[in-house]
Structure 1
Amino acid sequence: MKNSDLYEVRPIKDLKDMLDSSVKLFGEKAAFLSKPKGQADYAAITYKQYKSDVDAFGTALM
């Protein structure tokens, strides 16, 4: 029996590369759902918003 890939995968160097390529591929799609305190509904966080948050966090650490 021959092994075969179940899914097509893209090459990824590191976490930064993974996030950058995910933003290019899925920019406005939901990456996460977050439930803000005191609210009944979940809020979608897009890949683009998440990258912006990660970049802001990295800048704050410097």
Structure 2
Amino acid sequence: MPEFDFVKSSYSNTAGECVEVARNVPDVVAIRDSKTPDGPLLRLTPCAWAEFTASLD
């Protein structure tokens, strides 16, 4: 499994409800809950990630 380099989302709040995103692996954007770093990962294609983030505006 590739080594993901997660960074905390700028939308995360100070109450510990955080989303972390890794974009350092080609063709994959990985998302996880920072409260459970060993928990499940959501893996998206960069295109799907771009469509998702564009829909948030």
Q: Which has the larger radius of gyration?
A: 1
TM-score by length of 2: 0.33
More helix by share: 1
TM-score by length of 1: 0.31
